[in-house]
Chain A
Amino acid sequence: MKRGLGLYAVAAYAFLHLPLLVLAVFSFNSSRFTIWQGWSLAWYRAALQDGQLGEAAWNSLLIAVASTVLSTVVGTLCAYGLWKRDSKLLSGSLYLSLVTPEIVTGISLLVFFQWIFRFLHVQLGMHTVILAHIAFSLSYVVIVVMARLRTFDASLEEAALDLGATEWQAFRRVTLPVLAPGIAAAALLAFTTSFDDYVITSMVAGVDSETLPMVVYAMARRGANPVLNAISTLIVAVLGSLIVLSERLRES
């Protein structure tokens, strides 16, 4: 039975990892068809020279950085506040936003922005995408930072208060440094989920805010394309390393 379980595990891990590995291998294929012909970097060269891709990648980066900074700051403060005393309404809506289907989140934000635009003279664009990304990554940040706070010894903070620190000083000088790895892990997670998102982004993006996942989606729709394999491999490699880093930080 033990050997059977081991064999099964090999198959299960193959199922989880082979699709992306095969895609990565074929991104180096010199043929444009799915038949192996030899190693080549042609598709990477084509991907890096593509202006539309470059612009989309730049947009994605800007959006991910802006939304990560804001959601990490707001989410960390929120986690700390909830850790002091829970607020059913706030933690309830955070949990609910986590399980809300992405398509519903995207549509509801689209409807909301369109409604706001009746009163304000603005349009969909980078700013609406950034706001949407803050909204959905906030709950990830709160949950990761909260997990860190649960292992934090509250008496350390009490000691600081007893020794004459103000509440802000106790938070800033005692609690925050202890939370730092958790906050960094949360930020990396927020960054990857933002950089990755297609469904919500495609709903609230304007003409000037096409992101990398939107280009990937359009290319996937159009059919076989070895350049897409190369882009996918690059994205998975970069985001994958960020996730490994985030996991390391969470466990430290």
Chain B
Amino acid sequence: MTQLRRLFLAPAGVIMGVLFLVPLAIMLAYSFLTRGAYGGVTAEVTGDNYQRVFDPLYAAILLRTFVMAGTATLGCLVLGFPLALFISRAGPRKNLYLQLVILPFWTSFLIRTYAWMFLLRDTGLINSALLAAGLVHQPLPLLYNEGAVFVGLVYGYLPFVVLPLYATLERLDKNLLEAAADLGARPWVTLTRVMIPLCAPGFRAGALLVFIPCLGAYLTPDLLGGSKTVMVGNVIQNQFTTARDWPFGSAVSLLLMAIVMVLLMLLIRRGGEKLV
């Protein structure tokens, strides 16, 4: 078997090597070089690029990215748990309800983000409706701020918490819930003291599954955010386009990758991939 297996793995190995690992290695090398006069890089080795990430300007963006990703994750968990609970109790319609959660996730992230621009902008649906109803006299500033980015991220990644939470709820030992009720616990107490603690693995996996993509979010802050909601993804893009500082952009990218890798290992160690 080994011969055929090797033959089967070779093309994928070449593709992953050449189009994934080598590009990352080049970025790693660039991150220790110096920016050339007209963009590009010069062969002067330095560690300054990594130091610059912690300049107050970039440290603030890094911090904001963590806060944004954290609040979006929290939002997803809070909104996702009751939905997962509803689906797990839906009987024969479970699968349909689950599909309805997954479906929008696979249909064009770009267009789903645009849909929120359509709803939130000054001439958008919400403001048009409010103006027409005479509830406001000027359009509310709904787009291009942190709130819009938060909504966009929660909307984009909600399915990522519903799936693992649903999986843990399905495996929950129903006897424990009955025991709690028999011992006189009211539904609310059973929920907060028995059910939610038992779902901890689902919460952990869901949190990581949302937090990881939110950290690297680019399109959402780009389209829904303004100049004050720049996240790490936008900094990276900017360094390779407008600012033309490839070494610094590479350093930021690799730092982001390092954080993502640590989180991924946490997820795998917790057995998170089995929950999806």
Q: In this assembly, does B19 line the interface, its C-beta being within 8 Å of a C-beta of chain A?
A: yes
Q: How far is the CB of A161 from chain B (nearest CB, A)?
A: 9
Partner of B256, one of A33, A82, A104: A104
- Stretch among A43-51, A107-115, A119-127 lining the B interface: A107-115
Q: How far is the CA of A204 from the CA of B240 in the complex (A)?
A: 12
Partner of B111, one of A20, A26, A112: A20
Residues of A within 8 A of B250 (CB): 111
Residues of A within 8 A of B135 (CB): none
- Given known contacts A22-B115, A111-B246, A236-B108, A101 and B213 CB-to-CB distance under 8 angstroms: yes
Inter-subunit contact A216/B110 (CB<8 Å): yes
- Given known contacts A167-B1, A232-B114, A16 and B155 CB-to-CB distance under 8 angstroms: yes
Inter-subunit contact A220/B107 (CB<8 Å): no
Residues of A within 8 A of B58 (CB): none
- Of residues 35 to 71 in B, which have CB atoms within 8 Å of A's CB atoms? none
Residues of A within 8 A of B147 (CB): none
- Given known contacts A101-B213, A108-B23, A198 and B110 CB-to-CB distance under 8 angstroms: yes
Q: How far is the CA of A2 from the CA of B191 in the complex (A)?
A: 13
Q: How far is the CA of A244 from the CA of B114 in the complex (A)?
A: 22
Residues of A within 8 A of B123 (CB): 33-34, 224
Residues of A within 8 A of B99 (CB): 244, 247
- Stretch among B78-86, B176-184, B198-206 lining the A interface: B78-86
Residues of B within 8 A of A243 (CB): 103, 106-107
Q: How far is the CA of A215 from the CA of B189 in the complex (A)?
A: 53
Residue on B with the closest CB to A236? B107
Q: In this assembly, does B145 line the interface, its C-beta being within 8 Å of a C-beta of chain A?
A: no
Q: How far is the CA of A199 from the CA of B223 in the complex (A)?
A: 12
- Of residues 1 to 19 in A, which have CB atoms within 8 Å of B's CB atoms? 1-2, 5-6, 8-9, 12-13, 15-17, 19
Inter-subunit contact A34/B128 (CB<8 Å): yes
Q: How far is the CB of B64 from chain A (nearest CB, A)?
A: 16
- Of residues 176 to 221 in A, which have CB atoms within 8 Å of B's CB atoms? 189, 192, 196, 198-199, 203, 213, 216-217, 220-221
Q: How far is the CB of B14 from chain A (nearest CB, A)?
A: 9
Partner of A103, one of B85, B102, B237: B237
Inter-subunit contact B9/A93 (CB<8 Å): no
Q: How far is the CA of A20 from the CA of B85 in the complex (A)?
A: 25
Q: How far is the CB of A33 from chain B (nearest CB, A)?
A: 7
Residues of B within 8 A of A239 (CB): 106-108
Inter-subunit contact A240/B4 (CB<8 Å): no
Inter-subunit contact B8/A81 (CB<8 Å): yes
Inter-subunit contact B240/A110 (CB<8 Å): yes
Q: In this assembly, does A135 line the interface, its C-beta being within 8 Å of a C-beta of chain B?
A: yes
Residues of B within 8 A of A94 (CB): 12, 16
Chain B interface residue count, CB cutoff 8 Å, equals 82
Q: In this assembly, does A74 line the interface, its C-beta being within 8 Å of a C-beta of chain B?
A: yes
Secondary structure of the B contact surface, majority rule = helix
Inter-subunit contact A103/B233 (CB<8 Å): yes
Q: How far is the CA of A228 from the CA of B223 in the complex (A)?
A: 15
Q: How far is the CA of A2 from the CA of B85 in the complex (A)?
A: 10
Q: How far is the CA of A23 from the CA of B264 in the complex (A)?
A: 35
- Given known contacts A19-B155, A90-B9, A142-B12, A213 and B260 CB-to-CB distance under 8 angstroms: no
- Of residues 217 to 247 in A, which have CB atoms within 8 Å of B's CB atoms? 217, 220-221, 223-224, 228-229, 232, 235-236, 239-240, 243-244, 247
Q: How far is the CA of A34 from the CA of B118 in the complex (A)?
A: 9
Inter-subunit contact A196/B4 (CB<8 Å): no
Q: How far is the CB of B101 from chain A (nearest CB, A)?
A: 7
Residues of A within 8 A of B240 (CB): 107, 110-111, 203
Q: In this assembly, does B271 line the interface, its C-beta being within 8 Å of a C-beta of chain A?
A: no
Inter-subunit contact B82/A5 (CB<8 Å): yes
Q: In this assembly, does A80 line the interface, its C-beta being within 8 Å of a C-beta of chain B?
A: yes
Binding site for A on B (CB under 8 A): 1, 4-6, 8-9, 11-13, 15-17, 19-24, 26-27, 30, 79, 82-83, 85-87, 89, 97, 99-104, 106-119, 121, 123-125, 128, 132, 155, 158, 187-188, 212-213, 215-219, 223, 233, 236-237, 240, 246, 249-250, 253, 256-257, 260-261, 264, 268, 273
Q: Can you identify 28 A-B contacts, CB atoms within 8 angstroms?
A: A15-B79, A17-B100, A17-B104, A19-B115, A20-B107, A22-B125, A23-B111, A34-B118, A78-B8, A78-B11, A90-B12, A90-B16, A93-B17, A93-B21, A101-B217, A104-B253, A111-B27, A111-B246, A112-B26, A138-B15, A192-B107, A196-B109, A213-B108, A220-B110, A220-B113, A228-B114, A236-B107, A240-B107
